[in-house]
Amino acid sequence: MTSTPSPKQKFIDTARELFAERGYFGVSLADVAGELALTKQSVLYHFKTKDALYGAVIADIASRFDVIIDEVMDESESAPRALALFLERMQTHMQV
């Protein structure tokens, strides 16, 4: 069963998509809020600045990489196989 993301996680997920499409300077907190049909104030409740939101996006991506690395290391008996699995999972992850 998949849980519903928290409001804070929804902001992070939406910001990640927007930053990927438009770059850091092409996205405002109002843009992130607008994508979710919310106000800029609702974003500011969780993230005091755009830099704070961007940092949360980077931290979220890093934690996802850590999970993938742990899974791959548990499933692999050799370094070449671990690398192949990692690249495969990264490709899948980037498409989602």
| CA distances in angstroms from 89 to 3, 68, 70, 76, 84, listed in the order given | 22, 7, 12, 13, 9
Do the Cβ atoms of 57 and 19 come closer than 8 Å? Answer: yes
| CA distances in angstroms from 19 to 36, 69, 72, listed in the order given | 15, 24, 28
Q: Quick check: helix, strand or coil at residue 94? A: helix
Q: What is the reported pLDDT for 86?
A: 86
Higher pLDDT, 58 or 68: 58
Q: Kindly tell me if the per-residue pLDDT of 95 is higher than 70.
A: no
| Average of per-residue pLDDT values in the chain | 91
Higher pLDDT, 35 or 71: 35
> pTM value?
0.79
Indicate the CATH number of 7-95 among 1.10.357.10, 3.80.10.10, 3.30.413.10, 3.40.50.300. Answer: 1.10.357.10
